[in-house]
Structure 1
Amino acid sequence: MPEGDTVFRAAQRLRTALAGRTLTRSDFRVPRYATVDLVGERVEEVVSYGKHLFIRTDRVSIHTHLKMEGVWRVFHRGQRWTKPAVTARAVLANDEFEAVGFSLGKVQVLLRADEHTVIDHLGPDLLGPEWDPAEALRRLAEYPRRAVGLALLDQRNLAGIGNIYRSEICFLRKVHPVTPVGDIPDLAALVDESHRVLGKAAHEPPWRAMVYGRTRRSCPRCGTPIASQLLGEDESADRITQRERGIFFCPKCQPPP
């Protein structure tokens, strides 16, 4: 599943193509919004919050979530799409550009006043201008017996972390992912590491994983083969599920609690 850095960069691309321009076409290929017509409306801004993306006019907010396979791509008008048209779920165009959301997991057209209902339950956005480490720390510490690998993945604590970065953050802090949050000696440092890692991934791509997806390869610190397991899931899951939802760690650098 795309993580906060991917959505952040998607918002940047869409902002360049759409912000400040008037829509000449809008096409929502989901039943609930199939009749919505935004032609003539001016896109004011495009922003992300965690894994959520919002394209705002003065009247509405187009909310999308990529889920597992979604992607936004920008084309010059008349340029051939690079993915099958049947997978397009939202199309927004102006005189110069066409933005197409393919295989989007969620598409909503909300009144601007209702946009907050989508994100009210989320923790602080790691890539947002109002990032609040104290609030993130408070939310994590509220459930001290929860495994940190699950707590980092919970968007109600910090918005933007997925499977990749929870493994990387725990590795950098030398914390085993099953360690209870309350047993981590410097939880504030883990919060700061989360902010640093996701910020670096968003602003300085490409990010090279140190442990994620590297089962049986050597740990970059000590040379021990990297291990992986499912956390809070069915441990009999297949290899694809193991890669997509599993945690990766160094058994030596990150000893279990």
Structure 2
Amino acid sequence: MPEGDTVWLAAKRMHTALAGATLRRGELRVPQLAAVDLAGATVREVVPRGKHMLTRFTDGRTLRTHYRMDGSWHIYRHGTRWRGGPAFAVRAVLATDEWECVGYRLHDVALVPTSEEDRLVGHLGPDVLGPDWDLDEALRRLRATPDEQIGVALLDQRNLAGIGNLYKVESLFLCGVHPWTRVADVADLAALVDRARTLMLVNRDRPEQSTTGDLRRGSDHWVAGRKGRPCRRCGTPILLGDQGPDLQERVTWWCPRCQAARSPIDPRARTGEPGRPPMLPTAT
């Protein structure tokens, strides 16, 4: 799933292409909005809100789109061939005389009065990359469920908006926190959240996402995508497990030595290896 920094960069590029311009073509290819024609509407701004993108028009309407697992926006010069996927995957087209913004496989497409945006995004916690970021409020929300697994809590957009699976596993590794640790048992929750935010700030202006400082493929992450490979710090093989409620599990990588559990963790922790008990080492 695209992370908040991916949506932030896409919104920045969409804003540059569309802000202040009048649409000569505005199609929403989803059943509930198929009859809507946005041609003639003038774009005021395009802004991110967590993993949601809000395109605001001067007539007081807002178009909300969400990437979920496979969505994306592509921007083309007018008249350029679209290369983002098959035509049947297009969910939205916002075109001016100069640019064509094409949304592929978008989800949660909605058009509402701008004054009613909270109906769509009001449940979200502080936006990690937003101008109104509030660390104290994010910590308050996280601590409201002290028994939740920290790896699950960081992905709950009601706590703080924007963090995805990549920044979850990478920040947990860098802070030496086991993914299944209870929120209440994280020694320095503020430092963990700040580390995740710092990683996202570093990456938000580029499509590449590196948490190691190295942009080369295979060298860009500490634990993500590295199951069975040696930890870059200690050499211990990286583990892979499923974490989260049933039907909402997310794959989770961690180093069993650098992130050794320092307190009791959920015994239901899964390592992704059927028939084998979870590997739950303790710190020495």
Which position in structure 1 is the counterpart of 2:48? Answer: 48
Cα deviation digits, residues 60-90 of structure 1 (max 9, x gap)? 1110001111000011111111021111000
Cα deviation digits, residues 98-117 of structure 1 (max 9, x gap)? 10000112211111111121
Aligned-residue CA RMSD (Å): 1.5
Which position in structure 1 is the counterpart of 2:35? Answer: 35
Which position in structure 1 is the counterpart of 2:252? Answer: 247
Aligned residue pairs, count: 250
Select which of 138, 141, 144 maps to 2:143: 141
**Are the equivalent residues in 2 in contact too, given 1:29–1:88 (CA < 8 A)?**
yes
Map 1:110-125 → 2, pairs under 5 A:
110-125=112-127
Query: SS at the partner of 1:68?
Result: coil
Which position in structure 2 is the counterpart of 1:87? Answer: 89
Cα distance in 1 between the residues matched to 2:30 and 2:148: 38
**Structure 1 unpaired stretches of 5+:** none
Which structure exhibits the higher relative contact order, with contacts defined as CA atoms closer than 8 Å and separated by 6 or more residues?
A: 1
Letter in 1 for 2:62: S
**Structure 2 unpaired stretches of 5+:** 211-219, 264-284
TM-score, structure 1 as length reference:
0.93
Identity %: 50
Cα deviation digits, residues 40-75 of structure 1 (max 9, x gap)? 221010000110001110221110001111000011
Cα deviation digits, residues 213-239 of structure 1 (max 9, x gap)? 1101111111111111111356xx9xx
Letter in 2 for 1:81: W
Cα distance in 2 between the residues matched to 1:148 and 1:100: 36
State whether structure 2 residue 95 is matched by structure 1 residue 62.
Answer: no
**Are the equivalent residues in 2 in contact too, given 1:4–1:50 (CA < 8 A)?**
yes
Cα distance in 2 between the residues matched to 1:255 and 1:165: 19
Which position in structure 2 is the counterpart of 1:163? Answer: 165
Cα deviation digits, residues 176-197 of structure 1 (max 9, x gap)? 0000010111111112112111
Which position in structure 2 is the counterpart of 1:178? Answer: 180
Which piece of structure 1 moves more, 103-112 or 124-133?
A: 103-112
**Are the equivalent residues in 1 in contact too, given 2:9–2:206 (CA < 8 A)?**
no
Q: Please identify which structure carries the higher helix content.
A: 1
